[in-house]
A and B are shown apart, each in its own frame.
Chain A
Amino acid sequence: MKKRVLTVDDSRTIRNMLLVTLNNAGFETIQAEDGVEGLEVLEEANPDVIVTDINMPRLDGFGFIEGVRKNDRYRAIPILVLTTESDAEKKNRARQAGATGWIVKPFDPTKLIDAIERVTA
């Protein structure tokens, strides 16, 4: 059974890179373009893990994570924050919102997959 990853990122470039990396690593990938869409597709995507950007229009990563945590079915799902935002304050906010972990952009494929492996059984 393939693990399902929901990625949320407004950059077309990053979305494509995630798609290629995750597909090559044997994941099934569902993509959303911002937090609002991420929440919209959440139920249907039914992911095992979520990878999200922070800086996004409409609804940013913080809001998205909070939204996911409010959903009974997904409130314990691992959420990795994928962002170049690197200052401690941002990281903390992401954690307070309920992020499980983070990956620093630019990600290299191995790091991404490792981090996903770390938070999924």
Chain B
Amino acid sequence: MDMNEIKEIFFQECEEQLAELESGLLKLNDGDRDPETVNAVFRAVHSIKGGAGAFGLDDLVSFAHVFETTLDCVRSNRLDPGPEVLKVMLKSADVLADLTNAARDGGSVDEARSRQLIKELEALANGEVPQASAAAPAPVEVVAKPVAAVAPPPVNDEGFQPVAFSFDDFDAAEEPPLMEMPTYEIVFKPKSDLYAKGNEATLLLRDLSRLGEMSIHCDMGALPTLERLNPESAYFSWKIQLATDKGEDAIRTVFEFAEWDCDLEISLVEDEATQSGEELPMQPVPFDLSILDDEPAVSVGVVEEEEQLASRQQDIRNAAVSAAGTASNVLQMAQSAARAPAEKAAPAASAAAQSAAAQQAAASAGTPTIRVDLDRVDRLINLVGELVINQAMLSQSVVENDANGTSSINMGLEELQQLTREIQDSVMAIRAQPVKPVFQRMSRIVREIADMTGKSVRLITEGENTEVDKTVIDKLAEPLTHMIRNAVDHGLETPEKRLAAGKSAEGTVRLTAKHRSGRIVIELADDGAGINREKVRQKAIDNDLIAADANLSDEEIDNLIFHAGFSTADKISDISGRGVGMDVVKRSIQALGGRINISSKPGHGSVFTMSLPLTLAVLDGMVVTVANQTLVVPLTAIVETLQPEASAIHSFGSNQRLISIRNSFCPLVDVGRILNFRAIQANPVEGVALLVESEGGGQRALMVDAIQGQRQVVIKSLEANYTHVPGIAAATILGDGRVALILDVDAIVAASRGQSLKPEMSLAAVG
């Protein structure tokens, strides 16, 4: 793995952390005060900062740092995360996301915005509570609360120096002459804590020796008799003379980890006379590192091999080294016997606390996950699709050869069928993902538009864990974004108007996802003014969409907004007026096999309801026969099926026919004729009518010759080989191995309105 790959991982991780950050902030916004939520938010920013630092992404680091400092104030209860504080934090999360993207893909960020937010964050950390901005007047209950006792921000953001340590001159062949360098006298007296924390006197002395020329004296005066010796205590101290040009700081750095757990005196020896000192009536002995570098690190045996230097100093050194060794070895080897009392002293309370913590940890840890390439999953899904088809074909041929269906083969096949279905569901579940990421993106969009329009908006999301196929999720973001923009821009009123209408100044947009009969239903509701039907109607007349005297129901008027090029806003605003109308939203939802509806109450707001399939890989369909061809009609499009009676069929105009169903007339569409399977219309009485719902909520009765049954089919795209075929959505392979086309109901209905399917696309050839 190289650095580029790690960087890639870093950015993946950033995305996860950013999602975590946003969802945490939103929870806080909803009044959640769980410390773990604050911690998770803090960790997310902290992690991004840590990784960004490693890659030298300075812009990201400095912003994350300021953000983190402010979050730390929240974490330590010095700053109350009230609505105004969270507003700044949510914006900061957006900027952090922008900076991350810029770091990954290049490009620039809005520097003015990030500078502004850095100021706001610093102000928060400094205890300045923001006032609700004038642009968005806060409702009475959102009056900024004074924050009690906000401590000054932590000043020491780099409280300790990074370890600067160099071995460079340790191996240098030529040491500068002793006398030319300043000499320090160091008195080092470890406490037992030093060893308990995993530090080692020998290692410290080793490191010290690497700074220059060193002589060492061990004071063993404190060593008690053997029977009174506590093997875990510290009895030795050292007096060291060190000639080094690295300065006192370098010496302190060596003891950096240990300085709390030892007495340490460092003093500069002024001149030679003092250096040869009376306190140490002995010759300085060079400190020999080879002892330490050998394995085992320290042992009396190794030391004894050096007896050619036999001298009193040598003895002292031996003692020093082996004593240090003893201290650590004993410490490492001492097993439960030595520390039993301490162990038992561990209060039961802490054990209880630990098990509680462990339980909580287990709950929040979730189930382990693995990352899999989407390609692999898709390949599996494809294979399972083939398996389903194959199983269906096998079943069919067995049935044909075993008409009474009693053989064991038949029984086994039934089990196989069930298993296949289960495998299929499980495989689909791999692709299923919660809609949460898309929903989370929406909250940012709401914030941005609220800022642009000066409206005060609260987004409530429900059912974010509702799962749906990844493809559906990916394609959902765009239409949803547009609808949210639309809801805030057109749906909600300005705070003044809302207050005048007796509503709270803050508008609410509610985004809900739920499963309903094998589909996912996404609802977007606002509590705004609702559709202005007069205006919509006038606009439709102006645009020649409807006749001036057209008699339309409220529902029909509401649905006019889905017509191409329709926009009710008087002036095209920055936000919604980007040339994308609700018609585009509707088309993209339909392309996903979904439907969209609106219901609106004047003065109370509008509700958009989208219903989408859970997966784009399989479909529940009705298998029908049309002019000896087998077709599949998506079940979701069908409202009901009926056998028309001659008396219910009425001719209309030259070529049109209507069917009367419960006192209303519905245009009758002969699928065989529309698809050019036959030249003349079939007799409706001999066929079956499928009542389908189409664009704009209008109904059509599609005439087919016969219904074969209902079946779940695996969708196979035709477009790769046949390009787009008008009126046909896709194809599938049936149990008998034959290819059946899947009908594009909306296209058929549109064609029946006169926009006929291109004649050269005669489908008889394809079928």
State whether the Cβ of B46 lies closer than 8 Å to any Cβ in chain A. yes
User: Are the CB atoms of B198 and A95 closer together than 8 Å?
Assistant: no
User: Are the CB atoms of A101 and B257 closer together than 8 Å?
Assistant: yes
User: Are the CB atoms of A119 and B257 closer together than 8 Å?
Assistant: yes
The verdict on A11 contacting B51 (CB below 8 Å), with A88-B160, A104-B162 known, is yes
State whether the Cβ of B328 lies closer than 8 Å to any Cβ in chain A. yes
Binds A, one of B124-132, B329-337, B407-415: B329-337
Number of interface residues of B (CB under 8 A): 63
Tell me which of A59, A72, A99, A101 contacts B339 (CB under 8 A): A72
Tell me which of B43, B199, B335 contacts A100 (CB under 8 A): B199
User: Are the CB atoms of A95 and B260 closer together than 8 Å?
Assistant: yes
Q: Give the docked Cα–Cα distance between A118 and B200 (Å).
A: 9
Bits for A65-84, please: 1 = Cβ < 8 Å to B, else 0: 00001101001111100001
The verdict on A114 contacting B49 (CB below 8 Å), with A13-B9, A86-B156, A98-B197 known, is no
Tell me which of B1, B13, B200, B336 contacts A11 (CB under 8 A): B13
Bits for B405-436, please: 1 = Cβ < 8 Å to A, else 0: 00000000000000000000000000000000
8 interchain pairs (CB within 8 A)?
Answer: A12-B12, A87-B154, A88-B160, A111-B163, A111-B165, A118-B254, A119-B198, A119-B200
The verdict on A58 contacting B365 (CB below 8 Å), with A76-B196, A86-B156, A87-B154 known, is yes
By beta carbon, the residue of chain B nearest A65 is: B197
CB distance from B260 to the nearest CB of A (A): 6
Q: Which residues from 1 to 60 on chain B have a C-beta closer than 8 Å to any C-beta of chain A?
A: 1-3, 5-6, 9-10, 12-13, 39-40, 42-43, 46-47, 49-51, 53-54
Tell me which of B160, B202, B254, B332 contacts A86 (CB under 8 A): B160
Scoring B47, B162, B195, B197 by chain A CB atoms within 10 A of each residue's CB, the highest score goes to B197
State whether the Cβ of B158 lies closer than 8 Å to any Cβ in chain A. yes
State whether the Cβ of A103 lies closer than 8 Å to any Cβ in chain B. yes
State whether the Cβ of A25 lies closer than 8 Å to any Cβ in chain B. no
**Beyond A55-B46, A86-B160, A121-B203, 10 additional pairs, beta carbon < 8 A:** A11-B13, A11-B47, A16-B6, A76-B195, A76-B196, A84-B49, A88-B159, A101-B163, A111-B162, A111-B163
User: Are the CB atoms of B165 and A118 closer together than 8 Å?
Assistant: yes
User: Are the CB atoms of B256 and A101 closer together than 8 Å?
Assistant: yes
Chain B interface (Cβ < 8 Å from any Cβ of A): 1-3, 5-6, 9-10, 12-13, 39-40, 42-43, 46-47, 49-51, 53-54, 154, 156-160, 162-167, 195-200, 202-203, 207, 254, 256-257, 260, 292, 295, 297-298, 328, 331-332, 334-336, 339, 343, 346, 357-358, 361, 364-365
Q: Give the docked Cα–Cα distance between A115 and B207 (Å).
A: 11
The verdict on A58 contacting B159 (CB below 8 Å), with A11-B47, A84-B53, A114-B165 known, is no
Q: Give the docked Cα–Cα distance between A105 and B160 (Å).
A: 12
User: Are the CB atoms of B53 and A105 closer together than 8 Å?
Assistant: yes
Tell me which of A20, A75, A84 contacts B196 (CB under 8 A): A75
Inter-chain contacts of A119 with B (CB < 8 A)? 198-200, 203, 257
Inter-chain contacts of B12 with A (CB < 8 A)? 12
User: Are the CB atoms of A118 and B207 closer together than 8 Å?
Assistant: yes
Inter-chain contacts of B335 with A (CB < 8 A)? 72
Number of interface residues of A (CB under 8 A): 49
Tell me which of A70, A105, A114 contacts B54 (CB under 8 A): A105
Tell me which of B1, B162, B196 contacts A98 (CB under 8 A): B196
State whether the Cβ of A42 lies closer than 8 Å to any Cβ in chain B. no
Inter-chain contacts of B43 with A (CB < 8 A)? 10, 55-57
User: Are the CB atoms of B158 and A115 closer together than 8 Å?
Assistant: no
Tell me which of B51, B165, B198, B254 contacts A13 (CB under 8 A): B51
CB distance from A101 to the nearest CB of B (A): 3
User: Are the CB atoms of B163 and A115 closer together than 8 Å?
Assistant: yes
CB distance from B207 to the nearest CB of A (A): 6
CB distance from B96 to the nearest CB of A (A): 16
The verdict on A84 contacting B50 (CB below 8 Å), with A103-B163, A111-B163, A121-B297 known, is yes
Inter-chain contacts of B339 with A (CB < 8 A)? 72, 75
The verdict on A91 contacting B197 (CB below 8 Å), with A84-B49, A121-B292 known, is no
Inter-chain contacts of A41 with B (CB < 8 A)? none
User: Are the CB atoms of A86 and B1 closer together than 8 Å?
Assistant: no
Inter-chain contacts of B292 with A (CB < 8 A)? 121
Inter-chain contacts of A84 with B (CB < 8 A)? 46, 49-50, 53
Inter-chain contacts of B334 with A (CB < 8 A)? 72
The verdict on A16 contacting B357 (CB below 8 Å), with A10-B43, A55-B46, A115-B163 known, is no
By beta carbon, the residue of chain B nearest A20 is: B1
CB distance from B644 to the nearest CB of A (A): 63
The verdict on A100 contacting B197 (CB below 8 Å), with A11-B51, A114-B165, A118-B207 known, is yes
User: Are the CB atoms of A58 and B361 closer together than 8 Å?
Assistant: yes
Inter-chain contacts of B53 with A (CB < 8 A)? 84, 105-106
Q: Give the docked Cα–Cα distance between A25 and B295 (Å).
A: 19
The verdict on A59 contacting B42 (CB below 8 Å), with A13-B9, A88-B156, A111-B162 known, is no
Q: Give the docked Cα–Cα distance between A99 and B195 (Å).
A: 11
Q: Give the docked Cα–Cα distance between A72 and B9 (Å).
A: 37
Q: Give the docked Cα–Cα distance between A26 and B51 (Å).
A: 23
User: Are the CB atoms of B203 and A17 closer together than 8 Å?
Assistant: no
The verdict on A11 contacting B196 (CB below 8 Å), with A20-B6, A58-B361 known, is no
The verdict on A59 contacting B13 (CB below 8 Å), with A19-B1, A114-B167 known, is no
State whether the Cβ of A36 lies closer than 8 Å to any Cβ in chain B. yes
User: Are the CB atoms of A17 and B54 closer together than 8 Å?
Assistant: yes
User: Are the CB atoms of B357 and A59 closer together than 8 Å?
Assistant: yes
Inter-chain contacts of B2 with A (CB < 8 A)? 20
CB distance from A90 to the nearest CB of B (A): 8
By beta carbon, the residue of chain B nearest A86 is: B159
User: Are the CB atoms of B50 and A105 closer together than 8 Å?
Assistant: yes
User: Are the CB atoms of A91 and B160 closer together than 8 Å?
Assistant: yes
State whether the Cβ of A27 lies closer than 8 Å to any Cβ in chain B. no
Scoring A59, A99, A106 by chain B CB atoms within 10 A of each residue's CB, the highest score goes to A106
Tell me which of B297, B343, B361 contacts A36 (CB under 8 A): B361
CB distance from A63 to the nearest CB of B (A): 8
Q: Which residues from 14 to 46 on chain A have a C-beta closer than 8 Å to any C-beta of chain B?
A: 14, 16-17, 19-20, 36
User: Are the CB atoms of B165 and A58 closer together than 8 Å?
Assistant: no
Inter-chain contacts of A72 with B (CB < 8 A)? 334-336, 339
User: Are the CB atoms of B346 and A14 closer together than 8 Å?
Assistant: no
Q: Give the docked Cα–Cα distance between A120 and B200 (Å).
A: 8
CB distance from A80 to the nearest CB of B (A): 9
User: Are the CB atoms of B160 and A99 closer together than 8 Å?
Assistant: no
